[in-house]
Amino acid sequence: MDETNPLLPDRTSERVRQIEDARDDVVDFDPCGDAENPLEWAPGYKWAIVGLLAFMAFTVTFTCISVVPIASRITTDLGDPRKSSSVLLVTIWELGEAAGPLLMAPLSEMFGRYPVINAANVGFIGATVLAALSQKAPLFIAARFLTGLAVATNVLNPAIVGDMFVTEQRGSAMSLVQLAPITGGAVGPLISGAMAETIGWRSVVWLNVGLACVCEAFLLTGFKETYKVPILRRKAARLRQETGGKALRTAFDLMDDEQSTRKLWDAMMRPVLVFADSFVLQLICLFGAMTFSYYYIFSTTYPDVLMQTYHLTPAQTGLAFIPFTFGSIVGTLVCNALLDKIYIKLRDANNGVGRPEYRLPIIIVGAFALPITFTMYGWTAELGLPLAVVLITSGLFGFAMNFAFMPVFTFVVDVFGLYSASAITAMIVTRCVAATFLPLAAVSLIKQLGAGFGCTVLGTVGLAFAPIPVLIFLYGPAWRQHSKYTMGDSA
């Protein structure tokens, strides 16, 4: 099989015709009802897994963001007081997240979500322990990179939700999963600021280790495989043993035949192939990269504004993140209330035919609101307006941030189906690379131009990217036809 071919059967190939001839030997889920099919699991258990994914996402974000208000203190205590080092300490995480999914996503499509997510979480715990024991700033920064490298939630959580829920139910599940990081992003600065002032910043890192260990205990005992490929392969193996039917295989095994030596390479290359093959994915990755960078630019400049302009302590700075979080939570709740409703309404208006593009109206609103609220944030800081104004602006920014970014994962899952993990990987890589380096450039820009004009320039760039989801909404159905990895419209 050519490495550019998808796992799903190509209906025009001679090989598929051979498979159709042997369909009696192909093992699949029972269409009349199958307890092994994740789509048919008990709703209570599926939502329990969603809750576990949310807890994982909370832990990861808490670990990532808890250093934000104390980054300068950490690098200073470790012998490096430069501002660039404290910014890199925060953003280097994203560079690790850009590299890790390139292996995790394809491995999850080969071996399943369960082994990959557990192995990654063990690596996450080890890297966090290394950070807690670091005595020099470069080692701490390297440990942060390794911690980001071991994060599996961003790429696997949306894919796992897609494994378990039908299209019209995914929006609510994804909203809950993505609400947890927002909570972690709020609680992280709040707790870390208070702990750093009392018992030291290392205690914050050890708290992160404890949370990750609790998460791993739940993963090992409460989570089970959701990806249909390994589930069906295990089912076929069991049926071969029970019936003696040695010819029993899954459609995926029949398509692969004797390509086992190339599987891992093919799987690792798949995110690149999916990205290169889909113009829609390229556009949404570009949009997501710019949108996500705003968050890190805000996170690395906001503590300086609060402590230098308004003379807040680290603990007070942590408290000042609450309005941003409140705005984010409200934005998430609104998305949760509207995302599936808008999809269903547009689907019904289209004679019952659903399209992934029906996830985009909320993103379109956020795409224009986000750069505007970011520019407002810059000018409130530049003019030294009352602290309450800065806090309100941060809340508006948090609201717009979630409108612009949160539904993107659901859209990608709907578009790419079985290849959602690889597509999400491509999106994560692009956004993480941007979020690692753009804040470094943005900090220099804001230092030279001031917060007002610096944020205005960045906001203008963001407005230039805002039409992307509009174009995808209008032309995405046609563009998707040119990619062999994208799903068609659904009735």
> Is the separation of the CB atoms in 188 and 324 below 8 Å?
no
> Is the separation of the CB atoms in 229 and 116 below 8 Å?
no
Span 376-396, average pLDDT: 92
* Closest among 135, 409, 137, 390 to 287, alpha carbons compared: 409
Supply 358's token pair.
């029906």
Helix H or strand E encompassing 101:
helix 101-111
Tokens 């994060």 sit at which residue?
A: 151
> Is the separation of the CB atoms in 48 and 176 below 8 Å?
no
* Closest among 441, 425, 394, 325 to 91, alpha carbons compared: 441
Distance CA 488, CA 491 (A): 10
Residues 6 or more apart whose CB falls under 8 angstroms from that of 303 comprise 68, 69, 71, 72, 317
Helices (H), 350-419: 360-382, 387-416
Phi-psi region of 415 (alpha: psi -120 to 50; beta: other; left: phi over 0): alpha
Residues facing residue 26 across a β-bridge: 249
165-215 per-position pLDDT tens digit? 887 777 778 777 877 776 777 677 778 877 877 788 899 899 999 999 999
Helix H or strand E encompassing 230:
helix 228-243
Contacts 24+ apart (CB under 8 A), 456-459: 456/375, 456/378, 456/379, 458/294, 458/297, 458/371, 458/374, 458/375, 458/378, 459/371, 459/372, 459/374, 459/375, 459/378
* Closest among 184, 187, 175, 462 to 330, alpha carbons compared: 175
**Does residue 1 register a pLDDT over 50?**
no
Residues facing residue 249 across a β-bridge: 26
267-310 per-position pLDDT tens digit? 677 888 889 999 999 999 999 989 888 988 888 888 888 888 88
Name the 3-class secondary structure at 225: coil
Which domains are assigned to the chain? 22-480 (1.20.1250.20)
**Does residue 8 register a pLDDT over 50?**
no
**Does residue 315 register a pLDDT over 90?**
no
**Does residue 217 register a pLDDT over 90?**
yes
Banded model confidence at residue 414, pLDDT cuts 50, 70, 90: confident
Three-state SS annotation for 121-189: HHHHHHHHHHHHHCCCHHHHHHHHHHHHHCCCHHHHHHHHHHHHCCHHHHHHHHHHHHHHHHHHHHHHH
Distance CA 64, CA 185 (A): 8
- The larger pLDDT score, comparing residue 240 to residue 144, is at 144
459-491 per-position pLDDT tens digit? 999 999 999 999 999 998 889 888 888 866 655
50-94 per-position pLDDT tens digit? 999 989 988 988 888 888 778 888 888 888 888 778 888 888 888
Residue 53 DSSP label: H
Supply 367's token pair.
């795409």
Buried-state track 4-21, b at ≥16 Cβ within 10 A, e below 16 = eebbebeeeeeeeeebee
* Closest among 393, 243, 391, 420 to 320, alpha carbons compared: 391
* CB count in 10 Å sphere of residue 381: 26
> Is the separation of the CB atoms in 193 and 67 below 8 Å?
no
Span 237-262, average pLDDT: 62
* Closest among 410, 404, 409 to 362, alpha carbons compared: 404
Banded model confidence at residue 27, pLDDT cuts 50, 70, 90: low
Banded model confidence at residue 13, pLDDT cuts 50, 70, 90: very low
> Is the separation of the CB atoms in 375 and 450 below 8 Å?
no
* Closest among 315, 369, 363 to 335, alpha carbons compared: 363
